[in-house]
Chain A
């Protein structure tokens, strides 16, 4: 079945690194994504990774993919108060469409 799991909460101090984890069950997923949602807003695409990659870095963001364990992580370096939001991982199962399966989201709180 298709299911994406995330821990619900993460709290870090400003300037520290944050690591948000995600596990997925569809091993055939070829694209995996991280989205950010601020209160009352839609979702903003942060980054994505193809399944043939192990790591992708984009400024303060580093995505790690472990296909064997079906584990995806998002590391935010030098976390700022503006990074406080809900972070969703999402996959597109290779079912011939472009619909996403989203995780339940991880609420990141950055303490000043």
Chain B
């Protein structure tokens, strides 16, 4: 297993377009998280799945954002009608049931909205 994989690494899109990002977690990890990181800031929590169930969503996750993890494996994060303020690094992480021992992060998807 090569860790948490995110695709694409970079995405440039025009304002108003929809974008979708994919995350493939470590196969034996049942928990999956999405975070957003803007320049000069620490990551901010967006949402969290345990298996296929989305257990928590941040208030940052407006109705333009949706995340899925249909079979409890990979996850997608979709942003509809992108705005310039959505420009950020989107980080995915996974952990085992004993997640207190830390997450494994992917390398992130950098989104630029022009």
Binding site for B on A (CB under 8 A): 4, 30-31, 33, 35, 40-45, 48, 88, 90, 92, 97-105
Contacts and interface: CB of A to CB of B under 8 A. Distances in A.
A81 B106 CA distance: 24
B48 A42 contact: no
Given A33-B102, A48-B102, A102 B107 contact: no
B42 A103 contact: yes
A98 B103 CA distance: 10
Contacts of A41: 107-108
B41 A43 contact: no
A56 to B, nearest CB: 13
A100 B45 contact: yes
A9 to B, nearest CB: 11
8 contacts: A40-B107, A42-B6, A44-B105, A97-B55, A98-B31, A98-B100, A102-B43, A102-B44
A99 B107 contact: no
Given A42-B91, A42-B108, A100 B103 contact: yes
Contacts of B6: 42
Nearest to A33: B102
Interface string B71-109: 000000000000000000001010100011111111110
Nearest to A103: B42
A42 B45 contact: no
Contacts of A4: 42
B102 A99 contact: no
A48 B45 contact: no
Contacts of B101: 48
A112 B74 CA distance: 42
